[in-house]
């Protein structure tokens, strides 16, 4: 294909990737329910160019051996997810930014540990990054030369890898340094990587299916089976086979967790540890899918090239090329490109965080002049330190590619990196499960492990690159035969990788355990050990778990924090801290307590890593760490208190019943109290509204003596009305209180019900006649009834008054019906107003209930009238309820006993 076309498409792809990241960051492309899947797919960054191209090469030469590095994650991820989740939990609580940060935090936030881990990562993983550059460059060449129309200029040929590296560097800076807080989530990055995982799977499947269809279809199954090279593919080397597979399973699982890019996406970028539940099946499925076609492609390669010399690593790209399927090749190339770039991007971001937080910033902080200028431009400095780190790391990778990695296959370089990061396994594993694990043990064991790694794996590559004489390999160090890199201690175990892994991890573990057992841990280590091992107990009370006598003011702490994360955000975080812990917000010049100091340290460690943030805080104050025995005692004390509580609550089981009864009574009292409060609140609220008008009008009339007479009259009228409303409300509140408290006496006398009704109706007649409204009374009883006349009049006034408010001013009609049996009196009041909706009928007797949307009720209604009626009827042992009248209005029905 035309070189410019390839370059254009590649660049477009990078832009697309960036667009995906950008939109995911700003707009949130997919709803939250997808985030577990995005998380699982992003861990798919495990599959790099090594998987995409290298597996086929490995399968062609060694058979099923290529699968060994996937067995670890596939088997152990579902089995060991509790271990993984613990790491995630700890990292969240401690605001961990990288694997170096994790290990250094565990061992007392020690700078040396952090720097050592960071250095190991850089040394171990740089070759792996360079391998991706190599894959991009090689695949580009294959794509470019597979067509005869190649017009590549030599200029591009030579500079291409460097250009690719620089363009990627630019993209990584965009991705990685937009946020200062390295423990903050890079949503865009995660989405882009998940997207790349999908691209590489699809591209690989398209390439694979194309090759199978075009090559394997031309051969019969007998032809395929009898090819000796194909047969070799299915032979399992039983000699060192089992040991090797066992070793690889462990090795690949540790790599899966500790490789900086895996730690970044799997632990740091994890939003919610519940997402693991999805990841433990999605991720293994992904690995199986992407490996499904490897063997068929390898077989197709052997058949297609039939004895010719070819580079089996790139079978999937070179066959479509040879068949002139340009677009298939392009798709495959993009798949490989995304596999490689995904790895480079995340690995570089993770490494640069470590390089800046664990190596550069501690160096800067140890130098007085550098430190001062760092503090004056904190935000800018950190950004630039990160950017420089990214460029520096890419430059290292590029150099490695130029001088060394050209001579190795993709897989062998990758495995060397795996073995390097596996050296962290003992420090982490013991660190989170064993409280005695000590700092020195960690430093020594990682150093020993990495030393053996260097000796057994790196030196041979340097020999091949002709940097070290080959006699070294043949005769051993200083001609001592048991110091030969490939036969350490005179023992040869399987292939070089298994050999190196076995010896480095064995000595690593032995030194770790023996030193930890031998040493008395320091106070700082004990604290962190407690926090890591018993994460579930401390995850919520992290800030309280430190004891230190600080000598720093609140204002200084806040200034410090705002120089790192900006004034506004630090102000918010401080407020949050005090609110969350229900503390009073202290004055600026007050001394900061340990909680705030630790909180600040934690926030800062999100930006510059745990170890650096500790130095910053220590340098800010005369920090005297209190004897840590006290800390441990404190922690133990709080645990003892918990224990004691448990026992007490057990003992109280005998008192249980009494307690239950009491608490029930208490709840009831509280409820009554609350109802009372609620009532009082509503009453005062109801009082406030008329008072507001009265006060406003009074003040206005006082302040504006010149207002015209008509206006004054209008205002006075309103005031009179509002004052009436007020006094009515007060009367009713008092009435209700009397009824509710049981102080209301009932005074029954013999009355004729019709007389009672007529008296009340008479009081309405003046208004009624003015308004052309009618009240009709139907009487159908001759009996006397025993009633409290005074109270019953109040009930009728209320109900008829209500009805009058709702009926139309013309042709409004109220019908009152009186009936009785020997034992029961029945009075109904119906109107032709709008009626009361069925669902509200049961509530109208509640205090302060007003039928929704009926503003008329506000006209003088207090919302208490009907509840008073109900109380009075209750007092008579009768019933009152609402129904719908025949003409659609409301119908109030009262039933009373005759005696």
Q: Which residues bind other proteins (CB under 8 A)?
A: 681, 684-685, 688-689, 691-697, 699-700, 703-704, 711, 714-715, 718, 722, 852-853, 855, 858
Non-local CB neighbours of 23 within 8 Å, separated by 6+ positions: 29
32 or 703: CB nearest other proteins: 703
474 or 699: CB nearest other proteins: 699
Non-local CB neighbours of 619 within 8 Å, separated by 6+ positions: 365, 371
Please choose, from the candidates 636, 574, 39, 2, the residue with its C-alpha nearest in 3D space to the C-alpha of residue 280.
39
Least Å from the CB of residue 720 to other proteins: 11
Q: What is the largest CA-CA distance in the chain?
A: 133
Burial class (CB in 10 A: 0-12, 13-18, 19+), 375: middle
Least Å from the CB of residue 2 to other proteins: 49
Angstrom distance (rounded) from CA 736 to CA 744: 9
Helix crossing, 241-258 with 425-433: angle to 10°? 70
Q: Decide: 189 and 38 in contact? Cβ < 8 Å.
A: no
Least Å from the CB of residue 624 to other proteins: 41
Least Å from the CB of residue 780 to other proteins: 41
695 or 899: CB nearest other proteins: 695
Q: Decide: 344 and 132 in contact? Cβ < 8 Å.
A: yes
Please choose, from the candidates 880, 830, 835, the residue with its C-alpha nearest in 3D space to the C-alpha of residue 853.
835
Q: Which helix (H) or strand (E) holds 164?
A: helix 154-176
Q: Decide: 584 and 574 in contact? Cβ < 8 Å.
A: no
561 or 729: CB nearest other proteins: 729
Angstrom distance (rounded) from CA 744 to CA 735: 9
149 or 852: CB nearest other proteins: 852
Non-local CB neighbours of 196 within 8 Å, separated by 6+ positions: 17, 45, 338, 339, 341, 342
699 or 737: CB nearest other proteins: 699
258 or 697: CB nearest other proteins: 697
Least Å from the CB of residue 700 to other proteins: 5
In 731-862, beta strands by DSSP E:
749-751, 774-780, 785-787, 813-820, 824-831
Distances (CA, A) of 32 to 35, 41, 112, 597, 701: 5, 15, 40, 34, 60
481 or 689: CB nearest other proteins: 689
669 or 720: CB nearest other proteins: 720
Least Å from the CB of residue 562 to other proteins: 24
Strands 624-625 and 548-549, sheet pairing:
antiparallel
Least Å from the CB of residue 798 to other proteins: 23
Least Å from the CB of residue 25 to other proteins: 22
Distances (CA, A) of 782 to 779, 789, 792: 9, 17, 18
Q: Which residues of 445-469 are buried (b: 16+ CB within 10 A; e: fewer)?
A: bbebbbebbbbbbbbbbebeeeeee
466 or 708: CB nearest other proteins: 708
Least Å from the CB of residue 690 to other proteins: 8
544 or 693: CB nearest other proteins: 693
Least Å from the CB of residue 876 to other proteins: 35
Least Å from the CB of residue 674 to other proteins: 13
SS3 785: strand
Q: Decide: 131 and 403 in contact? Cβ < 8 Å.
A: no
Q: Decide: 50 and 414 in contact? Cβ < 8 Å.
A: yes
Angstrom distance (rounded) from CA 847 to CA 15: 66
**How many other CB atoms sit within 10 Å of the CB of residue 850?**
18
Triad 187, 188, 189: Cα angle to 5°: 95
Least Å from the CB of residue 856 to other proteins: 12
Angstrom distance (rounded) from CA 653 to CA 560: 52
688 or 899: CB nearest other proteins: 688
Angstrom distance (rounded) from CA 411 to CA 127: 11
30 or 720: CB nearest other proteins: 720
6 or 726: CB nearest other proteins: 726
Q: Which residues pair with 66 in a beta bridge?
A: none
Least Å from the CB of residue 699 to other proteins: 5
239 or 710: CB nearest other proteins: 710
243 or 687: CB nearest other proteins: 687
**How many other CB atoms sit within 10 Å of the CB of residue 421?**
27
747 or 858: CB nearest other proteins: 858
SS3 831: strand
Least Å from the CB of residue 849 to other proteins: 13
Least Å from the CB of residue 697 to other proteins: 5
Q: Which helix (H) or strand (E) holds 137?
A: helix 111-145
Angstrom distance (rounded) from CA 32 to CA 18: 21
The full length of the chain comes to 899
Least Å from the CB of residue 694 to other proteins: 8
Least Å from the CB of residue 825 to other proteins: 38
Q: What are the start-end ranges of the H helices in 355-409?
A: 361-366, 368-376, 378-403
434 or 848: CB nearest other proteins: 848
Least Å from the CB of residue 687 to other proteins: 8
Q: Phi first, then psi: give them for residue 774, nearest 5 degrees.
A: -130, 140
């Amino acid at each position: 294909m035309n070189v410019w076309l390839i370059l254009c498409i590649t660049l477009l792809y990078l832009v697309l990737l960036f667009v995906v990241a950008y939109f995911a960051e700003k707009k949130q492309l997919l709803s939250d329910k997808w985030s577990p899947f995005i998380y699982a797919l992003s861990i798919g960054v495990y599959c790099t160019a090594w998987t995409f191209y290298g597996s086929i090469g490995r399968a062609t030469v060694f058979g099923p051996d290529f699968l060994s590095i996937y067995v670890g994650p596939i088997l152990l991820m579902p089995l060991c997810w509790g271990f993984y989740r613990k790491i995630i939990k700890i990292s969240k609580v401690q605001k961990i930014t990288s694997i170096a940060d994790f290990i250094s935090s565990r061992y007392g936030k020690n700078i040396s540990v952090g720097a050592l881990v960071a250095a190991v990562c850089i040394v171990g993983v740089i070759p792996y990054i360079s391998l991706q550059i190599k894959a991009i460059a090689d695949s580009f060449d294959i794509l470019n030369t597979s067509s005869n129309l190649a017009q590549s200029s030599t200029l591009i040929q030579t500079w291409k890898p460097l250009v690719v590296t620089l363009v990627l560097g630019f993209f990584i800076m965009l991705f990685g340094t937009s946020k200062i807080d390295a423990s903050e989530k890079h949503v865009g990055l995660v989405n882009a990587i998940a997207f790349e995982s999908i691209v590489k799977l699809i591209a690989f499947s398209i390439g694979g299916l194309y090759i199978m269809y075009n090559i394997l279809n031309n051969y019969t199954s007998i032809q395929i089976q009898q090819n000796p090279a194909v047969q070799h593919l299915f032979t399992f080397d039983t000699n060192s086979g089992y040991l090797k597979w066992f070793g690889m399973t462990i090795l690949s699982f540790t790599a899966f967790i500790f490789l900086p890019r895996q730690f970044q996406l799997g632990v740091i970028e994890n939003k919610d540890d519940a997402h693991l539940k999805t990841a433990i099946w999605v991720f293994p499925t992904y690995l199986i899918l992407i490996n499904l076609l490897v063997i068929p492609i390898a077989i197709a390669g052997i058949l297609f090239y039939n004895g010719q010399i070819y580079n089996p690593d790139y079978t999937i790209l070179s066959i479509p090329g040879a068949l002139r399927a340009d677009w298939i090749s392009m798709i495959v190339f993009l798949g490989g490109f995304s596999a490689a770039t995904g790895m480079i991007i995340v690995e570089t971001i993770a490494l640069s965080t470590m390089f800046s937080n664990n190596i550069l910033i501690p160096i800067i902080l140890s130098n007085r002049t550098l430190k001062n200028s760092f503090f004056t431009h904190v935000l800018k400095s950190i950004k630039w330190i990160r950017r420089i780190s990214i460029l520096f790391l890419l430059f290292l990778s590029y150099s490695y590619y130029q001088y060394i990695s050209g001579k190795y296959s993709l897989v062998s370089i990758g495995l060397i990196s795996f073995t390097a990061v596996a050296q962290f396994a003992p420090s982490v594993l013991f660190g989170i499960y064993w409280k005695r694990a000590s700092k020195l043990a960690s430093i020594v064991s990682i150093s020993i492990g990495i030393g053996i790694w260097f000796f057994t794996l790196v030196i041979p590559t340097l020999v091949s690159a002709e940097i070290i004489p080959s006699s070294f390999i043949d005769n051993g160090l200083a001609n001592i035969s048991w110091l030969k890199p490939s036969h350490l201690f005179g023992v040869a175990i399987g292939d070089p990788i298994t050999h190196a892994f076995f010896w480095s991890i064995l000595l690593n573990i032995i030194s770790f355990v023996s030193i930890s057992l031998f040493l008395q841990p320091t106070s700082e280590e004990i604290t962190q050990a407690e926090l890591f091992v018993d994460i579930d107990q401390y995850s919520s009370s992290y800030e309280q778990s430190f004891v230190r006598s600080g000598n720093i003011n609140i204002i200084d702490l806040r200034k410090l924090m705002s120089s790192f994360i900006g004034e506004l955000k630090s102000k918010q975080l401080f407020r949050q801290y005090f609110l969350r812990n229900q503390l009073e917000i202290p004055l600026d010049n007050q001394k900061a307590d340990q909680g705030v100091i630790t909180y600040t340290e934690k926030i800062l460690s999100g930006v510059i890593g745990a170890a650096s943030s500790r130095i910053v805080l220590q340098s800010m104050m005369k920090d005297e760490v209190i004897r840590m025995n006290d800390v441990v005692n404190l922690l133990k004390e709080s645990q003892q208190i918990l224990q004691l509580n448990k026992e007490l609550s057990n003992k109280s089981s005998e008192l249980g019943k009494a307690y239950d009864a009491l608490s029930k009574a208490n709840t009831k009292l509280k409820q009554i109290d609350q109802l009372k409060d609620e009532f009082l609140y509503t009453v005062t609220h109801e009082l406030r509204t008329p008072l507001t008008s009265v006060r406003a009008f009074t003040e206005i009339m006082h302040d504006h003596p010149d207002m015209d007479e008509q206006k004054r009259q209008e205002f006075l009228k309103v005031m009179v009305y509002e004052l009436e409303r007020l006094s009515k409300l007060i009367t009713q509140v008092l009435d209700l209180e009397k009824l509710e408290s049981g102080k209301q006496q009932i005074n029954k006398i013999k009355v004729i019900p019709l007389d009672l009704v007529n008296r009340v109706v008479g009081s309405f007649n003046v208004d009624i006649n003015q308004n052309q409204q009618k009240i009709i009374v139907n009487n159908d009883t001759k009996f006397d009834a025993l009633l409290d006349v005074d109270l019953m009049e109040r009930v009728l006034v209320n109900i008829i008054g209500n009805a009058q408010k709702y009926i139309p001013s013309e042709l409004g009609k109220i019908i009152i019906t009186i009936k009785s049996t020997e034992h029961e009196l029945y009075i109904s009041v119906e109107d032709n107003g709008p009626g009361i909706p069925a669902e509200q009928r049961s509530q109208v007797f509640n205090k302060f209930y007003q039928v929704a949307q009926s503003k008329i009720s506000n006209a003088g209604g207090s919302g208490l009238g009907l509840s008073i009626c109900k109380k009075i009827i209750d007092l008579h042992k009768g019933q009152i309820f609402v129904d719908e009248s025949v003409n659609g209005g409301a119908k109030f029905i009262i039933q009373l006993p005759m005696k």
